[in-house]
């Protein structure tokens, strides 16, 4: 359209500089000839020319006058310019559409796609849908075509970040089949298997991180997991050794490095050794550990604070009347307790219950029997924060649109807690 706007006006503009008709030109020429005749008569009267010269000149002027009168009255219209304008007016849009059809993306004009593109920050549902579609494409690769180990590793990491550990386990097994000598895949797979076993490193997770350390003795994830396995076996001296080495390889100041420092202190305290930090291990950079929540949960233990009272939290969870219209009977309610905010507090819930929304208001009791890990129990913490979340998808990960409520820090073993779900997860 821009090209046409520039070209067509110039082609269709009238040619004002040319006479519109031959009659205008003829009249101008005849006027000149009449002036010449008058000048000849004046010259003859003055004796400048003789009679023969006058007759010859007039004969020439009369001939030219006859020629002017015989010229057609109108010039042909500038048809060539109009034909060019019509040709360009049709050709340019057709050529542009043809090129766009070959090189462009017509699907981008779909209103649904435009709306999706407008939302630059994808929702958890969109992320899950993209990961599922990615998995479907990998599964659909024909057997006679080579599989992509990097793609399977990416899929496994995505599932681990979403805390879909069964799916992550399956994807890591496929990635390991395609790339059997990759120490990082072995370490990441061991981490996922430990999460499936309630953060226990026994069995296959230990076998995997040991193989990873044979291939790469400085693999950060494998060292951290080896320290967790030693701590689990109460071999605190070995746990200190392994975690100290991993601490020296972790990016300085990162959450992972801080978690390892806390783990070293905990292992020293458990072994009865001094809790004064010692010099870290080698500072040579090694492979980066996965940033998935599972890695931090498995390796970054915090030094617990002994609880002073009974290790339980009792209370009632109810829904604010203003949110009643957003609740469905089949929605899932998660009730959980976390350590009160502190520099080394673990992010993983200390205890959790799962109920149906149709049971609200719910009377609950959180204690060590509902703990997610043996080393992280309510009995090891003085103050906790109790939260409740209503999930329509049933996913343990918080998602936009979930209904939530949270208490201030409360003392374990205190009085009965009243918790109201009164907000919407942004």
Domain boundaries, the chain: 125-299, 312-424
Which pLDDT belongs to residue 318? 92
**Nearest CA-CA partner of 220 in 134, 283, 311:** 283
Contact predicate 342/383, CB 8 Å: no
CATH number of 125-299: 1.25.40.10
Strands 417-421 and 383-391: unpaired
Which pLDDT belongs to residue 69? 62
Per-residue pLDDT of the chain (426 residues; tens, 9 = 90+): 777 777 777 767 665 544 445 566 666 776 777 777 777 777 777 777 787 777 777 777 777 777 666 555 444 445 556 777 777 777 888 888 778 777 776 666 666 555 555 555 556 677 788 888 888 888 888 878 888 888 888 888 888 888 888 899 999 999 999 888 899 999 999 998 888 887 788 889 999 999 999 999 999 989 999 988 888 888 888 988 998 898 888 888 877 788 888 888 888 887 765 443 333 333 333 333 444 444 444 444 433 333 334 568 888 999 988 888 888 888 999 999 888 776 566 777 888 888 998 999 999 988 888 776 666 777 888 788 899 999 888 776 778 888 999 988 888 776 688 899 988 887
The H-or-E segment that residue 409 falls in is: none
Instruction: Write down the pTM of the prediction.
Output: 0.43
**Nearest CA-CA partner of 399 in 124, 175, 11, 150:** 124
CATH number of 312-424: 2.60.40
* Whole-angstrom distance, CA of residue 154 vs CA of residue 162: 12
3-state helix, strand, coil in the chain (%, to 5): 55, 15, 35
The H-or-E segment that residue 217 falls in is: none
* Whole-angstrom distance, CA of residue 344 vs CA of residue 297: 12
Length of the chain measured in residues: 426
Contact predicate 409/384, CB 8 Å: yes
Q: 361: cis peptide before it, omega within 30°?
A: yes
CB atoms within 10 A of CB 132: 11
């Amino acid at each position: 359209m821009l090209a046409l706007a520039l070209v067509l006006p110039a082609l269709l503009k009238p040619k004002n500089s040319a006479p519109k008709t031959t009659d205008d030109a003829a009249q101008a020429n005849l006027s000149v000839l009449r002036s010449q005749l008058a000048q000849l008569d004046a010259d003859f009267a003055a004796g400048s020319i003789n009679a023969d010269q006058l007759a010859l000149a007039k004969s020439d002027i009369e001939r030219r006058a006859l020629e002017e009168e015989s010229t057609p009255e109108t010039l042909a219209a500038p048809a060539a310019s109009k034909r060019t304008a019509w040709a360009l007016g049709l050709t340019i849009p057709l050529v542009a559409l043809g090129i766009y059809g070959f090189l462009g993306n017509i699907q981008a004009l779909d209103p649904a796609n435009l709306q999706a593109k407008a939302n630059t920050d994808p929702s958890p549902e969109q992320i899950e849908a993209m990961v599922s579609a990615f998995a479907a494409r990998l599964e659909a690769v024909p057997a006679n075509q080579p599989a992509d180990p990097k793609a399977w590793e990416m899929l496994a990491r995505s599932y681990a970040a979403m805390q879909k550990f069964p799916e992550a386990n399956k994807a890591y097994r496929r990635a390991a089949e395609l790339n059997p000598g990759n120490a990082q895949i072995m370490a990441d797979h061991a981490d996922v298997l430990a999460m499936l076993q309630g953060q226990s490193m026994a069995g296959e997770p230990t076998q995997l991180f040991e193989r990873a350390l044979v291939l790469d003795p400085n693999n950060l994830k494998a060292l951290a997991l080896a320290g967790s396995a030693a701590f689990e076996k109460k071999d605190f001296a070995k746990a200190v050794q392994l975690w100290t080495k991993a601490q020296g390889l972790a990016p300085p100041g990162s959450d992972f490095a801080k978690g390892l420092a806390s783990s070293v202190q905990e292992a020293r305290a458990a072994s009865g050794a001094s809790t004064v930090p010692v010099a870290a291990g080698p500072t040579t950079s090694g492979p980066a550990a996965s940033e998935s929540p599972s890695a931090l949960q498995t390796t970054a233990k915090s030094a617990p604070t002994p609880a002073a009272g009974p290790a339980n939290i009792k209370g009632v969870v109810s829904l604010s009347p203003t949110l009643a219209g957003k609740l469905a009977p089949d929605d899932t309610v998660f009730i959980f307790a976390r350590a009160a905010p502190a520099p080394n507090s673990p992010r993983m819930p200390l205890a959790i219950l799962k109920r149906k929304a149709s049971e609200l208001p719910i009377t609950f009791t959180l204690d060590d029997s509902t703990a997610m890990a043996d080393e992280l129990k309510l009995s090891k913490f003085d103050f906790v924060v109790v939260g409740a979340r209503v999930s329509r998808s049933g996913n343990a990960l918080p998602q936009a649109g979930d209904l939530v409520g949270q208490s201030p820090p409360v003392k374990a073993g205190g009085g009965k807690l009243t918790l109201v779900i009164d907000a919407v997860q942004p």
